[in-house]
Amino acid sequence: MRFRRSLAVAATVTVATPIALLTAAPAIAAGTSAGSTQNQPTYAELVKAATDAKKTFDAAVTAEAEGRKEVEAALDALNSDTHPLKAAVIAAGKAAKEAAATTDAAKKAVADAKAKLEAAEGDTDKAEAQRVLEAAEGDLTKAVATQQEADAEAKRAGTALDDARVAAVRKYSQLQQALAKARAAKEAADKALATAKECVRENGLTSLAVGLPAKVAAGSTVDFTLRMTNGTQRTLTVDRLVFFYGAGEGPGAKKNLLKVEWSDGSAWQTLTGESPEHIAHVDAMKPGERSDVKLRMTVDSAAKNVDAFALLAADASDAYNPCVLGPMKRYDFKLTPVGSKPDPADDAEPSQPDQNDDKRPVAAKPGNNAGLSAQGGASQQVIGTTATGAGAGGSLAETGSSSAMGPIALTSAATVALGAGAVVAARRRRSTGDA
């Protein structure tokens, strides 16, 4: 059987993904705030490289399996007495054996003729014996020549059969080598992609609550600002991650006493209050830019000296990393009874990141307690106020759909416990789903 189709596949395998493409990713995924990425592969390029490498590997696996069957069939055929090459070996071997027997007979005839010549007594007998000897020696010369030719033909036939076997195995070896190259390329592409998927910490991507009081009276409403600043060297696609919680009083109370809304520039959107969620998507936030979102919080009138907290962070991505994490900040504040007069100048202060700062709780879609899927994202289209640098000036800028945040969607449940004056918030270190 021919290996034309299988060898064609093997030829394509040798065109492997450039090593530079597969080895460049770790420099970005390691978490460096890359200022020079022009020589780095984008995440999309790494996904394509991994996809192409898998296709090539799968094709090589199929080609190797087909080639193995073909070489086994070819070797079986070559070992069959009916195969022309094997039949030629058999025939040549038989001819060589017969020629050898003829040579042996000629040698015996020469020996007998010599013995008769030595035994001859008369001139006539000697002359006849000499004639017989010369004829026998002539026959022996011809027999030896015939045997040499037969031996050479047998060797040629054997060599042809061996060459055919070697050729069949060599073609299969090419398929094995192609498979090994394809496997190595696939492993390198998978490793590069996995490295790129690792979440990158960017401490310069900050989220702060500006004007959030340290104490808020029950039944009142306060306005404040969620300020996000891109202090990195990257242009990022960003979603703000927010969660506000104040537990109701009494054993086992689960009611969230806070209603928090955010402005999309034209209307107020209400947070579910059930779990962290993404708001105010920004398609492209350049280095040094700042984006403010207005929030307002209304405290249930049933609140009486309740400990509350807010979690704020930024989840982002760029062309090189689908998972870029800004540090999470936690604000602890107090819900005081109706009619109390907290000091309006006393703002809540952000706590320092703790050991769980690399983790993200699940972020729910509006009106849905389920977490974001690997292919989904926060559904809001929002308008945020964006200002360049640290100045107060700025203009309204349309930020577009947040569906681009799908690759960094979160996958774990939030763990939030409020008791004995302590708040435990887990942020699950998250990565993208399979591309």
Average of pLDDT values for 317-332? 93
Whole-number Å distance between alpha carbons of 58 and 184 = 13
DSSP conformation class of 158: H
415 pLDDT higher than 60: no
pTM, two decimal places: 0.63
Dist CA 6 CA 68 (whole Å): 10
The 10 Å Cβ neighbour count of residue 344 is 11
Whether the predicted pLDDT of 327 surpasses 80: yes
Under the banding of pLDDT at 50, 70 and 90, the label for residue 39 is confident
Question: What six digits make up the tokens of 396?
Answer: 């309204």
Portion of the chain with pLDDT greater than 90, in percent: 60
pLDDT for residue 282 is more than 90:
yes
- Cβ atoms within 10 A of the Cβ of 135, count? 13
pLDDT tier for residue 252 given thresholds of 50, 70 and 90: low
Angle at 411 between CA 408 and CA 416, to 5 degrees: 115
Structure tokens at 25: 């990713």
Confidence tier at 354 by pLDDT (50, 70, 90): low
Query: Which ranges constitute the DSSP H helices of 257-322?
Result: none
Parallel/antiparallel/unpaired status of strands 221-230 and 205-210:
antiparallel
Number of H helices, E strands in the chain: 6, 16
The Cα angle at residue 37 between residues 36 and 42, in degrees rounded to 5: 170
- Could you give the CA distance from residue 377 to residue 420 in angstroms, rounded to a whole number? 35
pLDDT-based confidence at residue 273 (cuts at 50, 70, 90): confident
Entry field: residues in the chain: 435
Angle at 30 between CA 27 and CA 36, to 5 degrees: 40
Q: What is the mean pLDDT of residues 241-248?
A: 87
**Measured CA distances, 197 to 326, 345, 391, 431, 435 (Å):** 16, 43, 34, 6, 10
| Residues 364, 276: Cα–Cα separation, whole Å | 6
Confidence of residue 419 (pLDDT cuts 50, 70, 90): very low
Among candidate residues 113, 110, 93, the one with its CA nearest the CA of residue 144: 110
Q: For position 40, what pLDDT does the model report?
A: 85
d(CA 81, CA 279): 78
Taking a C-beta distance cutoff of 8 angstroms, is the pair 330, 351 a contact? yes
